Structure 1
Amino acid sequence: MRKPRDFDTELQALADKAKALKTKKQGQLGELVIATAADALSIEQLAGALLEAVGAEAARKEAWRKSGAAFFRGDGARARGGAGRNAGGASAIGASPQSASGEAGAA
């Protein structure tokens, strides 16, 4: 005879795993903000830049993806230097998506 499954325990284990994954993701996002020097931006500037990025066109997102991949590969100071240069203020946020797509599009 088969042993009956304890659905409550399995459901609780899944909920605990989902909570752990969410916590890990939040930590990784925080580390990413620090690694890219985006923590130098004000909360409002960072939120505005992220909101603009969410609504960006596909070509621009692809250029950002390439730049991000280069950052994670450690390909030179260009990817990291771009993040540092854009930490200066609100006008830099507006300029960063254009320069990132321009650089990646030209390459």
Structure 2
Amino acid sequence: MHTLSSWPFHQLGAHLAYKARRAGVLFLEVDPAYTSQRCPRCGHTEKANRRSRDHFCCRRCGLAGPADHVAGVNVRNRARSAWVLVNVPVPAPG
């Protein structure tokens, strides 16, 4: 298991992209910056929102939960935003 956990992130991303392409699944990369500090409810981003490695609590609106879950919700939301941009129809020349 140590071999998998020591992979560079770029190599892991390339492997996931390859597997997704092979399975016919779209693969989008999103910027993970501040996803563990940003509240998905109100958008407030602050280091103090992440009280510990495992717990998230927004200092503005009070949303609380497992930090990894909150970060995952933020990553999902960024991917949804990127998906919309990827699928915007190209305007016809006018």
Fold shared by both chains (TM-score > 0.5): no
Structure with greater strand share of residues: 2
- Max radius of gyration: which structure? 1
Between structures 1 and 2, the one with greater helix share? 1
* TM-score between the two structures when normalised by the length of structure 2: 0.29
Task: Give the TM-score normalised by the residue count of structure 1.
Answer: 0.26
Greater RCO structure (CA 8 Å; 6+ sep): 1
